[in-house]
């Protein structure tokens, strides 16, 4: 009987700090993140897409790698060169449209303990119906072939940067994607962006299964190619 | 007197009809303009002149939708097809993706009408 009580107390002592961190993370999500990000599934509409100030996070646990979240939240670097929604942050010029930097605000910066708590809370936000586990098979890809596919054959570089400063600006940069994103998420998003992010300005490209594997593999290897 | 009144009523009725049509057309263009600002501006530009933010590094430059001559040469069915099925479907660039999975047929029809409004041109074919 006494042994049971001691065991229960022991478990309590071990799990109490974990719960405290969970609660702190959830509290931070509500106080710091919710004004710009959806942490529960929103009702999709074009108006909402225009109103939101950052990407939805209700499936963050299926999207991000936790170590990257912890690192990035302490030192946020812009991922979408033209912000969100990109059109709201553009201005004309005598050449191409350019980003109107005056309309962009820096992302909130967290302390190490705050970042760890928030990252933990974010990883608990999952939507298993959006990202199927194990869809990316992990094959290595020739960077020459992958680059040709990404650029000339499928035109991904029109909207995304595969290396800093080169490529499109309306979509998130992809040269940190392997550190940032889970492989199955990359695969699933390329396959059907509208399923994960309804109304988003990326259409499904109708890629075959081998092409989805190849493109996901290429994006995951971009960091390696940059020698990072 | 009666004739004058009848003419007045008819004028008023046709005026209201015309105003109604204009309001309906404006509403239709407003929805298409919103879709344009969401999906097309990234390449075709906030001024609809083909100088979108992504155009800087594109190997094939996006169509200038303000070009009356260039746009006027494109048949109606080709405009609808290229929006819905993408550039490759009309032997043009892969950089123009297919928006059929994002916009409905009704929205694509509205977009085609809006493009005619932007270029101030009708189809010559």
- pLDDT tier at A42 (50, 70, 90 boundaries)? very high
B99 and chain A: CB distance < 8 Å anywhere? yes
pLDDT at B123: 64
Whole-angstrom Cα distance, residue A23 to residue A91?
Answer: 42
The answer to whether residue B89 scores a pLDDT higher than 90 is yes
Pseudo-torsion of CA B9, B11, B14, B16, nearest 10°? -70
A199 and chain B: CB distance < 8 Å anywhere? yes
CB pairs under 8 A between A and B: 86
Whole-angstrom Cα distance, residue A36 to residue A11?
Answer: 37
Are B65 and B82 contacting, i.e. CB atoms less than 8 angstroms apart? Answer: no
Judge: A203–B98 Cβ closer than 8 Å, yes or no.
yes
- How wide is the angle at C-alpha B98 spanned by C-alphas A53 and A142, nearest 5°? 85
Between the CA of residue B91 and those of A113, A151, A212, B88, what are the distances in Å?
Answer: 55, 18, 23, 5
| Residue A163 structure tokens | 């290396």
Judge: B102–A194 Cβ closer than 8 Å, yes or no.
yes
Residues within 8 A of A (CB atoms), B 67-96 only: 93-95
| Residue B14 structure tokens | 């046709």
Which residues on adjacent β-strands are paired with residue A64?
A181
The answer to whether residue A21 scores a pLDDT higher than 80 is no
Closest CA to A168 of A184, A155, A152, A183: A155
The answer to whether residue B18 scores a pLDDT higher than 50 is no
Judge: B102–A169 Cβ closer than 8 Å, yes or no.
no
Judge: B34–A46 Cβ closer than 8 Å, yes or no.
yes
pLDDT at A8: 46
A87 and chain B: CB distance < 8 Å anywhere? yes
Q: What is the pLDDT of residues B30-85, one digit of tens each?
A: 999 999 999 999 999 999 999 999 999 999 999 999 999 999 999 999 999 999 99
């Amino acid at each position: 009987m006494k042994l049971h009580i001691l065991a229960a107390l022991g478990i309590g002592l071990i799990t109490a700090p974990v719960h405290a961190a969970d609660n702190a993370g959830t509290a931070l999500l509500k106080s710091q993140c919710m004004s710009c990000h959806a942490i529960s599934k929103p009702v999709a509409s074009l108006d909402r897409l225009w109103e939101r100030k950052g990407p939805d996070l209700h499936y963050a646990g299926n999207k991000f790698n936790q170590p990257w979240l912890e690192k990035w939240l302490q030192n946020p670097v812009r991922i979408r060169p033209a912000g969100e929604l990109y059109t709201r942050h553009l201005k004309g010029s005598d050449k191409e449209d350019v980003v109107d930097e005056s309309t962009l605000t820096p992302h909130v910066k967290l302390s190490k303990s705050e970042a760890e708590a928030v990252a933990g809370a974010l990883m608990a936000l999952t939507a298993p119906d959006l990202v199927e586990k194990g869809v990316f098979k992990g094959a290595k890809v020739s960077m020459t072939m992958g680059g040709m596919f990404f650029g000339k054959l499928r035109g991904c570089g029109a909207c995304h940067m595969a290396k800093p400063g080169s490529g499109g600006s309306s979509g998130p940069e992809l040269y940190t994607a392997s550190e940032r994103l889970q492989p199955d998420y990359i695969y699933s998003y390329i396959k059907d962006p509208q399923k994960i992010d309804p109304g988003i300005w990326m259409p499904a490209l109708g890629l075959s299964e081998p092409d989805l594997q190849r493109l996901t593999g290429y994006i995951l290897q971009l960091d390696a190619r940059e020698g990072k | 007197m009666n004739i004058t009144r009848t003419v007045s009523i008819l004028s008023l009725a046709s005026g209201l009809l015309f105003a109604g049509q204009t309001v309906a057309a404006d509403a239709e263009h407003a929805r298409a303009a919103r879709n344009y600002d969401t999906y097309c501006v990234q390449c075709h530009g906030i001024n609809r002149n083909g100088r979108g933010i992504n155009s800087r590094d594109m190997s094939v430059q996006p169509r200038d939708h303000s070009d009356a001559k260039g746009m006027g040469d494109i048949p109606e069915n080709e405009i609808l097809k290229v929006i819905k099925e993408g550039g490759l479907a009309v032997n043009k660039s892969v950089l123009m993706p297919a928006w059929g999975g994002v916009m409905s047929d009704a929205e694509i029809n509205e977009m085609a009408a809006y493009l005619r409004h932007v270029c101030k041109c009708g189809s010559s074919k």
